[in-house]
Amino acid sequence: MHIAILTFDGFNELDSFIALGILNRIKKPDWHVSIASPSQQVRSMNCVVIERQIDLIEASNADVVLVGSGMKTRQIVEDKGIMSQLSLDPSRQLIGAQCSGALILAKLGLLRNIPACTDLTTKPWVQEAGVKVLNQAFYANQGIATAGGCLASQYLAAWVIARLEGIEAMKSAIDYVAPVAEKGLFVDLTLQQVSPFLDE
């Protein structure tokens, strides 16, 4: 199982790395999480430089693609060189977007007739792209999920784990990363957000 987290120049560290950290709680030989970027290195919104692990073509072939967020998403959706490499298909992949990542899904035509969650800054741009924005942290419809607010990344990662490995694996992953003495609370918050979308 290969999960790609699309991470562009100007990326938000919380959005890419919370998902990456939680998803890596699944310890199975065939479970692999990769940072995918258009260039060999990308620089975050706070000037942290990281090396990509895979390119966008390989990411498009992953079993799960999560689109991270960042301060340059409006430029990225205008960049045909980047967008043309993104070939995502909910019939063969789970697809998720964090915050401004929803704008990329909208521009790829993946949110037609599907409402989305995003952050408050990105909300007007996603609406302008013709997508209804929900006032909630997480929403999923079949194989497409969106989350709004950096720390909602934990819900997006949890949804991927629940879909692929089951709800007990999800609870175990969140329990591990949750604050000491608040583990039950964080598991419950995650269940509240994610479980309504697991019975489709």
Residue with tokens 């998803």: 23
Rounded Cα distance between 112 and 167, Å, is 28
Q: How far is the CB of 34 from a copy of itself (least distance, A)?
A: 9
Within residues 62-121, the interface with a copy of itself by CB under 8 A covers 117-120
Within residues 129-188, the interface with a copy of itself by CB under 8 A covers 135-138, 147-152, 154-155, 176-183, 185-186
Strands in 107-199 per DSSP E:
138-141, 144-147
User: H-type helices in 25-94, by residue range?
Assistant: 56-60, 73-76, 80-83
Among 27, 29, 30, 49, binds a copy of itself (CB under 8 A): 49
Rounded Cα distance between 117 and 138, Å, is 6
Q: Assess contact for 2 and 34: CB atoms under 8 A.
A: yes
Q: What would the x/- binding string for a copy of itself be over residues 16 to 35, using CB under 8 A? A: -xx-xxx-x--------x-x
20/65 with CB nearer a copy of itself: 20
C-alpha gyration radius of the chain: 15
For position 126 contacting a copy of itself by CB under 8 A, the verdict is no
Q: How far is the CB of 69 from a copy of itself (least distance, A)?
A: 11
Q: Assess contact for 41 and 52: CB atoms under 8 A.
A: yes
Residues that bind a copy of itself (CB under 8 A): 12-14, 17-18, 20-22, 24, 33, 35, 45-51, 53, 117-120, 135-138, 147-152, 154-155, 176-183, 185-186, 189, 193
